[in-house]
Amino acid sequence: MTEIKPTARPLSPHLQIYRPMLTMMMSILHRVTGAALYFGVILLVWWLSAAALSDSHFNLAQSFFGHWFGMIVLFGFTWTLIHHTLGGIRHLIWDTGRGFNPVTIEWMARANLAGSIVLTVLLWIAAYKVMA
């Protein structure tokens, strides 16, 4: 039998030593935002149920959403929803077999992140215009 000598071959990259890349972080973020929305939808169903049930239930829900803490939660919810939606559009584009070019991938990841922040701020400006 031949002797097995340890060679200095490169090992497959492992998560802890992998240099974080934007596309990789965006992929993780897509899943994290999806999981967050999974539980955040409770707030939407609560609001609808409260409106259907009674004035006192509705007032309680509205006082939560009008409170500074509720507003922070809703702001986070808005960004999470928009980020996941834009990420979803990217995935649907990839599903058609398009957009796998390294330049396009990087560009789409940046557009997703920037777009989610811009659209969230615009939506909240629109919300304040409605409230005023």
Partner 1 sequence: MTMRTPLGKVRGLGSAKSGAEHWLLERVIALANLPLSLFLVIFILMHLGATRAEIIDNMRNPIVAGLLAMSLIAILWHMKLGMRAIIEDYVHGEAAKLTLLVLNSAYTAILGVAAIYAILKMSFGS
For the CB of residue 98, give the shortest distance to partner 1 in the complex, in Å.
14
Q: How far apart are CA 61 and CA 63, in angstroms?
A: 5
Cβ–Cβ < 8 Å for 80, 35: no
Figure out which of the listed residues 26, 29, 81, 108 binds partner 1, where binding follows CB under 8 A. Answer: 81
Restricting to residues 1-60, which ones interact with partner 1 according to CB under 8 A?
31, 34-35, 37-38, 41-42, 44-45, 48-49, 51-53, 55, 58
CA distance 17 to 130: 49
Q: Residue 44 or residue 121: which is nearer to partner 1 going by CB?
A: 44
52 CB neighbour count, 10 Å cutoff: 9
What count of other Cβ atoms lies within 10 Å of the Cβ of residue 111?
12
Residues near partner 1 (CB under 8 A): 31, 34-35, 37-38, 41-42, 44-45, 48-49, 51-53, 55, 58, 81, 85, 88-89, 91-92, 95, 123, 126-127, 130-131
